[in-house]
Chain A
Amino acid sequence: MDLLNLPQAWELADLPFHRLISLGRRIERKDGQPNLRIALLGDAATQHYGQALAATLKLRGWWPEIYEAEFDTIRQEILNPASELYRFDPEVVILFTATQALYHRFARSAEKAAFAGSVSSEIVELWKRVRSRSNAILIQHNFVVPLNRPFGNRTASERDTLTSTVTRINQSLLDAASEQGVKIVDTEFQASYHGKRHWLDERLWCQAKQALSPSFIPSLVKNVSDTILLERGAGIKCVIVDLDNTMWGGILAEDGADRLEIGQTELGLAFQRFQIALLELKSRGVLLAVCSKNDQANVTDVLKNHPDMILRWDDFAAVVANFGDKASNILAIREKLNLGLDSFVFLDDTAFERSLIRTAFPAMQVPELSTDPADFIGDLARWNLFEGRSATAEDLARLAYYQADDQRQTIREKFHGLDDFIAELGMEAHVLPFDSYALPRVLQLVQRSNQFNLTTIRHSEADLRQLAADRDVAAFCIRLADRLGDNGIIATVILRKSGSDAMVDTWIMSCRVLGRRVEDLTVQVMAEKARQLGCRRLVGRYIPTTKNGIVEDLYPQQGFAAAGEEGTTRVYSLDLAQYQLQSIPIIIHEPDPQS
């Protein structure tokens, strides 16, 4: 079975119930897979729960053996020293107690005021009994505060209602749990998040003693598995974030720091609130790191000086911004932080980067953020990626120790699968004229692009139209698509014929697609267009600005020879007779020659 098609932990909560079960069924036991003996005791039906928990743990790399006690036998199993429970010798004991089961007991109870106290002390007593015979991880579900409202809005303030009783039971359990080393699974939160009207399905309780609709069981047992696996040492210790359109709206290299959307606009507010959520994680000891395709100096400037940024330079344990591939950059971050790959979450809005990292490091969590940044906070809550305890002094010291430094991260370990990954992307390039569809984006690139811009000549729209019509000019742009989506127009080139030379007047590319052989492809198309103009040489100039240092060696890298200097400008040439076509894993579509 293809591992890449299996859902990662963050996805499990969103799977439909039957899909989870059927995926779990397809997983076979592997040699050396860690075993987990789990006893499941409930006063509600546990079959769906047990099936789903088994599937979830299998999908997370564990092999569960589940002992499911008979319906509603929690007390017998725990109090009888000779019970199946103890014979099974569980490593995990789960007490799945349902609020619906309290309903009848509470209704019949003569001492309503004492009910909360007697239920919680009864449960704590059961914990102690388990503890006296077993070292198992003990998991207790808390109770969903019910929807009955005998006093209307006063229901919560009246002590003799089930609502206020359940609230008090939950609080007592929380207090006692930390003393007893019991782990509470917050069923009440789950029900609230998904909506109690749907969670507490009366029909299902009456028909089958189901405490919740099976639709929500994947989410509930995902949280149970998070709780168990945390005890087994699993847990996310670092979030690696992209910047452009993940931390802020816009693309720093194209829009500039002053046009980024952070805080001031509607979209900017959504990003800012997401930054607050990440800051909360940082405060509890989760490390934050940046991995961005950007210029390091520009990123440093925004992180240190942008007035609307919530997350600042000092909040990050590592900041890696360059135009290299993100897999190698993540290896550098990992080396600096000295954590296992399964301790990381990678958040990036770009499908290409997510797919690359998921392929390169299957152990790393690579969730898909919603398309609307306003949904990011809800995504984090639903995935429950950060199950954990409060930060220890050691955690906080580690953060101080790893404060980002101004030095560039040295890349010592290179990710070697990049070429294969790119070859399998199914990239297709369309070479397009400056027509009315392409012109707005071309104009934007020409007017705004600073970094991957060899000459920084700011042609106006009228100039561009004129150039497009000129027979001694080849003006084209390249649109790139792959199996992950359409990247839009990512390159713009203007060649002017001057005798037998084709002068590269403009060459601009989108920084996002660097490292995907698109530079090679662009030179190939340039060579072909130059030949069509009747030229024998391509002549390119690099005009340095404060921002385009990233392309200073582009021409020599592409096989051009140095051909002199004009002030600070460097001139390079490529003899077309010498130019050899390379094998590039991109299918090129050319327009009809007459157009």
Chain B
Amino acid sequence: MSNFETRVQNVFREVFDNPDLNIYREMQAKHVVGWDSLNHITLIMTLEETFKVKFSTREVMGFQNVGEMMDSLRGKLPA
């Protein structure tokens, strides 16, 4: 797992309050205990704060799985 993926995973672990949570690209909300619409907002916000980025409304509404979320996030980070 890359350093970037580890950082994303740490955010997931904090937000869903589960230190053993392992993320994978195909992972969706239904695979994670506690990933409801409320925690979805907390997740997006915590990713934004951690990585100092902003997701657009369209992006937030369009993510199908963790992989898409990470691709979008990575695209916003300085190379």
Contacts and interface: CB of A to CB of B under 8 A. Distances in A.
B32 interface: no
B46 A16 contact: yes
Interface string B13-46: 0110100000000000000000001100110011
B53 to A, nearest CB: 13
Given A203-B60, A208-B37, A17 B14 contact: no
B45 A215 contact: yes
B42 A17 contact: yes
A203 B42 contact: no
A25 B55 CA distance: 29
Given A203-B57, A215-B49, A18 B38 contact: no
Most A CB atoms within 10 A — which of B45, B56, B60? B45
A210 B41 contact: yes
Nearest to B17: A22
Contacts of B42: 17-18, 48, 214
A206 interface: yes
**10 A-B pairs closest in CB distance:** A22-B17, A203-B57, A47-B38, A18-B15, A18-B14, A214-B45, A208-B41, A214-B42, A18-B42, A206-B57
A524 interface: no
Contact of B41 (A19, A22, A48): A48
Nearest to A47: B38
B27 to A, nearest CB: 18
Mostly, the B contact residues are: helix
Which DSSP category, helix, strand, loop or mixed, fits chain A's interface? Answer: helix
Contacts of B15: 18
B56 A203 contact: yes
B61 interface: yes
B60 A207 contact: yes
Interface residue range, chain A: 10 to 19
A19 B14 contact: yes
A43 B15 CA distance: 26
Contacts of A18: 14-15, 17, 42, 46
Contact of A17 (B17, B37, B45): B45
Contacts of B61: 207
Contacts of A206: 57
Contacts of A215: 45, 49
A204 interface: yes
Given A18-B14, A206-B57, A214-B41, 19 more contacts: A16-B46, A16-B49, A17-B42, A17-B46, A18-B17, A21-B17, A22-B14, A22-B17, A48-B38, A48-B41, A48-B42, A203-B55, A203-B60, A207-B41, A207-B60, A210-B41, A213-B45, A214-B42, A215-B45
A532 to B, nearest CB: 53
Contacts of A16: 46, 49
Contacts of B60: 203, 207
Interface string A8-44: 0000000011110110010000000000000000000
Contact of A207 (B14, B17, B57): B57
17 contacts: A16-B46, A16-B49, A17-B45, A17-B46, A18-B14, A18-B42, A22-B14, A47-B38, A48-B38, A48-B41, A48-B42, A203-B55, A203-B56, A206-B57, A207-B61, A210-B41, A213-B45
Interface string A82-98: 00000000000000000
Interface string A573-595: 00000000000000000000000
A213 B46 CA distance: 11
Nearest to B15: A18
B56 A25 contact: no
Given A207-B41, A208-B37, A25 B17 contact: yes
B16 to A, nearest CB: 9
Nearest to A201: B45
A37 to B, nearest CB: 22
Most buried by B among A17, A19, A25, A203: A203
A25 B18 CA distance: 12
Interface string A194-220: 000000000110111010011100000
Nearest to A17: B42
A152 to B, nearest CB: 26
Best-surrounded residue of B17, B42, B60 (most CB of chain A within 10 A)? B42
A438 B37 CA distance: 60
A359 B4 CA distance: 39
A303 B14 CA distance: 49
Interface in A50-77: 51
A354 B4 CA distance: 38
A284 B61 CA distance: 50
Contacts of A47: 38
Nearest to B41: A208
A28 to B, nearest CB: 16
Interface in A297-344: none
